[in-house]
């Protein structure tokens, strides 16, 4: 069991059959093993961070109000009016900043050990301490179904085009099924938004940057200047995102009447794009 714990803490992987753990059958072994690995992870994270300073959200931060203000423009740009209140209501309770107050409960309650390990590394990175493994990828946020786990580094970011809270919310749209929120759905409209798998990161990064261009730009001309500044800054350091395509999408978005829809159109599956083009214009 100690070897299994050591392996899990180092690389985030575990034996899916939990054969090292006691129990009558897979279910009991899985329960015992999961609890032991989870507790070991919590203990390791707390030990590494107990004496480290960390940025925390403002004491007077109202998360629901914060999320409502943050996501309203994006939701209004991407969803029909009849669906907007439902989607915004869901997003209002979606944001979780990982802090010393909640990290233990978040890790213990996460049903997937691999995801818990990723969240542990996200939290460790916010404390500027060594991650659990060289294999761990430093991340600032992670979306799981309709929850956006976010680093408190959000409150000390100096990049004017960063908004990884909104970035993670954009991922919720392909994580959550329309049926879950009681919205009309079909075989071709299963998720809140149909986004091509290989363009999910492009969509999220484009939404993030576009939201900042809207917030910072005084008018269309100023947004063009800001986009030029963005183009010479470091582009998303993500091999899943084509930098030229990302900038082209943003250039199209800031000149469109509804830039959110342009971003979605550029990142939709081909079958959705062709279906949209073939629909008669009213």
Each residue of 116-163: pLDDT tens digit?
999 999 999 999 999 999 889 889 999 999 999 999 999 999 999 999
pLDDT digits (tens, 9 = 90+) for 15-34: 999 999 999 999 999 999 99
Write down the pLDDT at residue 123: 97
Residue bearing tokens 């939290």? 123
What is the model's pLDDT at position 111? 94
DSSP 13: -
200-209 mean pLDDT? 97
Mean pLDDT to the nearest integer, 66-73: 97
pLDDT at 267 > cutoff 80: yes
Asked if residue 28 belongs to a domain, the reply is: no
Question: How are strands ordered across the β-sheet holding 141-144?
Answer: 95-97, 147-150, 141-144
What would the mean pLDDT of 98-120 be, rounded to a whole number?
A: 97
Say what the pLDDT of residue 138 is. 86
Least confident range from 50-59, 196-205, 245-254: namely 50-59
Please tell me the total count of domains within the chain. Answer: 1
List strand residue ranges (DSSP E) for the chain, in order: 95-97, 141-144, 147-150
How many CB atoms lie under 10 A from the CB of residue 120? 26
Nearest to 180 by CA among 189, 188, 170: 189
**Residue 23 in domain:** no
Whether 32 maps to a domain, the answer reads no
Confidence bin at 273 (pLDDT 50/70/90): low
Q: Could you tell me the pTM of the whole model?
A: 0.91
Report yes or no on 213 lying in a domain: yes
Q: Domain range for residue 59?
A: 55-278
Please state, in angstroms and rounded to a whole number, the distance separating the CA atoms of residues 68 and 92.
5
Residue 49 lies in a domain: no
Give the Cα separation of 199 and 144 in Å (integer).
18
Looking at 50-190, list the stretches that DSSP marks H as alpha helix, in order from N- to C-terminal side: 63-78, 81-92, 103-109, 113-126, 164-175
Which of left, alpha, beta for 23 (phi over 0: left; psi -120 to 50: alpha)? left
Sole residue written with tokens 């997003």: 91
Domain membership flag for residue 74:
yes
Average pLDDT of the residues in 212-229: 96
Averaged over 217-234, what is the pLDDT? 94
Q: Is residue 133 part of a domain?
A: yes
Say which residues have a Cβ less than 8 Å from residue 85's Cβ, sequence separation at least 6. none
Whole-number mean pLDDT of the chain? 93
Give me the phi and psi of 259, to 5 degrees please: -65, -30
pLDDT score, position 272: 58
Domain assignment present for 136: yes
């Amino acid at each position: 069991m100690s070897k299994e714990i050591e392996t899990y803490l180092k690389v985030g992987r575990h034996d899916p059959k939990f054969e090292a753990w006691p129990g009558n059958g897979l279910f009991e072994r899985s329960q015992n093993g999961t609890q032991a690995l989870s507790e070991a992870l919590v203990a390791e994270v707390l030990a590494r961070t107990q004496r480290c300073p960390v940025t925390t959200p403002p004491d007077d931060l109202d998360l629901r109000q914060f999320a409502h203000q943050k996501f309203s423009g994006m939701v209004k740009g991407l969803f029909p009016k009849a669906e907007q209140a439902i989607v915004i209501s869901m997003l209002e309770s979606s944001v979780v900043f990982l802090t010393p107050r909640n990290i233990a409960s978040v890790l213990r309650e996460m049903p997937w050990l691999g995801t818990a390990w990723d969240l542990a590394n996200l939290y460790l990175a916010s404390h500027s301490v060594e991650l659990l493994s060289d294999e761990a990828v430093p991340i600032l946020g992670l979306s799981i179904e309709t929850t956006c786990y976010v680093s408190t580094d959000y409150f000390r970011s100096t990049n004017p085009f960063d908004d990884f809270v909104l970035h993670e919310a954009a991922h919720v749209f392909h994580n959550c099924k329309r049926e879950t929120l009681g919205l009309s759905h079909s075989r071709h409209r299963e998720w809140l938004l149909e986004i091509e798998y290989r363009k999910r990161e492009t969509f999220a990064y484009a939404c993030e940057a576009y939201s900042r261009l809207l917030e910072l730009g005084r008018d269309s001309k100023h947004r063009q200047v800001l986009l030029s500044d963005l183009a010479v800054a470091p582009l998303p350091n993500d091999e899943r995102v084509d930098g030229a395509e990302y900038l082209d999408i943003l250039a199209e978005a800031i000149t469109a009447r509804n830039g959110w829809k342009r971003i979605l159109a550029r990142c939709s599956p081909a079958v959705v794009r062709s279906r949209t083009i073939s629909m008669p214009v009213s």
